[in-house]
Amino acid sequence: MSPRRAVRAACVLAAAALLGGCAWPAARWRDFTDIASFGISAGSGLGARATVTRLLAVEAIAEKDETFYGWNSRNFRWTSSSYGIPFSLWRVPSVGREKTPERHWFDIFTTSRRRTLFPNRPTVEDRRHTLFILSGADAIAGVDWLNIEVGISALFGGLEISIKPGEMGDFFAGLIGLDPAGDDERCYGVDVPHPSQEPLPK
């Protein structure tokens, strides 16, 4: 395909995404934008983290209700609370006004616990790693299991970046009419209610 035709095709897909609702071209464009995510925050955390798929995570971080702005899972903002080593040995994170999850005796071996609230999901995503290996998970999308993430938080700002091989597979599968992620009908900017949660900042 010539460069001129490639640019023309990209323009057609972009126009379809803006004007075509949840039609096939718009869904493919949304799938494409899911392949990578990035976000910046105004702070509320301190430390760094890295994950290689959802199975392995190293976090030396403490953050409470750190709201990121950028792009992640078709959200322009999301909020995370997390404790990595050494804080995870005695602290359990909570998001907003939710009740703090119960702590168990085996949490003395927990090396990280992360809870993330996405506006377009009804349930808080929860990840626990024991000795750096995933030992508990809730509300994780199937295509997110292969995600590779890095993040850093300081008192006055934060940054996180994620590459999502599973979403790349979903994009290519969508070109032949398949939808392994089951997200073709999920559009942008759709908030769902989160009972007992403090409203996210606008």
pLDDT attached to residue 196: 45
pLDDT tens digits in sequence order for the chain, 202 residues long = 676 676 666 665 555 444 444 588 888 999 999 999 999 998 889 999 999 999 999 999 999 999 999 999 999 999 999 999 999 999 999 998 899 999 989 899 999 999 999 998 889 999 999 999 999 999 998 889 999 999 999 988 999 999 999 999 999 999 998 999 888 877 665 566 555 455 444 4
Cα-flanking dihedrals φ and ψ of residue 119, to 5°?
Answer: -55, -30
Long-range contacts from 128-134, C-beta under 8 angstroms, 24+ separation: 129/56, 129/57, 129/59, 130/106, 132/56, 132/57, 132/58, 133/55, 133/56, 134/54, 134/55, 134/56, 134/57
First to last CA, the chain: 42
pLDDT in tens, 52-69: 999 999 999 999 999 999
Query: For residues 48, 49, 50 and 51, what is the CA-based torsion angle, rounded to 10 degrees?
Result: -170
Instruction: Look at the pTM and tell me if it is higher than 0.95.
Output: no
